[in-house]
Amino acid sequence: MGQPYQTIRWHVDPEQSVDTLSRNKDIHEAARMLREGKLVAFPTETVYGLGADAASQEAVSAIYTAKGRPSDNPLIIHIGEKEQLYTLAAEVPPAGEVLMRRFWPGPLTLILPHRGTLAPKVTAGLDTVGVRMPSHPVSLALLRVSGAPVAAPSANRSGKPSPTDADHVWHDLQGRIHGLVDGGPTGVGVESTVVDVTGEVPLLLRPGGITWEELQEAVGEVQVDPAIVQEGTAPRSPGMKYRHYAPQGEMWVVVGEGAAQIRRVQALADEARRQGKKVGIFSTEEHRAYYQADWVLPCGSRQDPASIARELYRGLRRFDQLGADTIVAEGFPPEGLFHSVMNRLSKAAEGRVVQA
């Protein structure tokens, strides 16, 4: 089939207010395409999403085709107004209400029992649905103007790092989708936190932009899906079981601090270079000057976990462009946003995580 579409790319100013953007003619054009059942990628505060009308089985099917996504992996529904939640969810348990009030709009997805009003493909046949209200002004304006709930996975080809810039979307999906709203780089850099609130105690299925600590502060006890921390356990969130976020090169992650971490990272890099590999090191600002490799790319500062989340996918994609055969990345203690970063790093590394 190749590249069936001439993808339209609109540039919009992400600094404008939601109200101003809601009058923007390009946003209206993109919203019209969504209503017509076409595929439109757009920025959210986490990563770019690939949107389609969630009520249209055909439009939703097209998402799976464009991404090359396995059909047993359900999609997140994006809404522009909190009230829309009640048209999608059969019931919103008290913990769901609290989390929604506290974190919406923002990088939190709630898993709730659904009403059966969506295209069955959206939920991959499950009796639950994931819903979130993003905070990015461009996505809010687009969702409000379109008026429809929009199903949107991350706008990458399946298995690739999620797109944190419009160029990443263009690279992966140009010609496979109808439109791309370019609103510059995204802010958070890792996907939304996914929390199942259908049970007695909320269950964290995917760590993301909202931390476990923040969730606990809002609702008390929050359990963590064991699959997040333990390799080989069947995850409750279907999407968590696939190879993901992965660059082409073989990746290693070294957890630790200071001189011990630096020594171990360099040793792995040296060994790969002896085998004739092109090697990249993904280093925090603090350690960058200590390394030697074919490429040493910065992944943000240890003092600022948000900077590391923001740089993560950009860096992994950059190593692909450079043609790195081996990537050695610094790892972090699994706290706060580092928990989400480590989850993505260990998936990208397919579990090749070592202690310094």
- Site residues for ligand TXA, 75-104, by CB under 6 A, read 75-76
Q: Max alpha carbon distance in the chain (Å)?
A: 59
Q: In whole angstroms, what separates CA 64 from the centre of its chain?
A: 16
Which of 346, 338, 282 shows the shortest CA–CA distance to 314?
282
Name which of ligand TXA, Mg ion, none residue 237 binds, using a CB cut-off of 5 to 8 Å depending on partner kind.
Answer: ligand TXA
Contact 313, 169 (CB under 8 A): no
End-to-end CA distance of the chain: 47
Binding-site partner at residue 111 among ligand TXA, Mg ion, none, CB < 5 to 8 Å by type:
ligand TXA
Does 21 sit near ligand TXA (CB under 6 A)? no
Residue 238 lies near ligand TXA (rule: CB under 6 A): yes
CA distance 248 to 235: 24
For 64, residues 6+ apart whose C-beta sits below 8 A from its C-beta are 70, 71, 121
**Piece in contact with ligand TXA (CB under 6 A), picked from 189-197, 245-253, 254-262, 271-279:** 189-197
Which helix (H) or strand (E) element contains residue 344? helix 336-348
Selected binder of ligand TXA within 27, 59, 95, 205 (CB under 6 A): 205
Nearer to ligand TXA, 102 or 288 (CB): 102
- Amino acid at the residue 345: L
Residue 211 contacts ligand TXA per CB under 6 A: no
Residues binding ligand TXA: what is the number (CB under 6 A)?
29
x-marked contacts with ligand TXA along 25-54 as a string, rule CB under 6 A: -------------------x-xx-x-----
Q: Is 175 left (phi over 0), alpha (psi -120 to 50) or beta?
A: left
> Which residue from 128, 174, 223, 301 is in contact with ligand TXA, where contact means CB under 6 A?
128
Binding to Mg ion by CB under 5 A, coded x per residue (else -) over 144-163, reads ----------x---------
Q: Does 111 bind ligand TXA (CB under 6 A)?
A: yes
Cβ neighbours of residue 271 closer than 8 Å, sequence gap 6 or more: none
Q: Pick from Mg ion, ligand TXA, none: which does 238 bind, CB < 5 to 8 A by kind? A: ligand TXA
Question: To 5 degrees, how large is the angle CA 337–CA 343–CA 344?
Answer: 95
How many Å apart are CA 182 and CA 193, to the nearest integer?
24
Binding region for ligand TXA (CB under 6 A): 44, 46-47, 49, 73-76, 107, 109, 111, 123, 126, 128-130, 134, 152-154, 191-192, 194, 205-206, 237-240
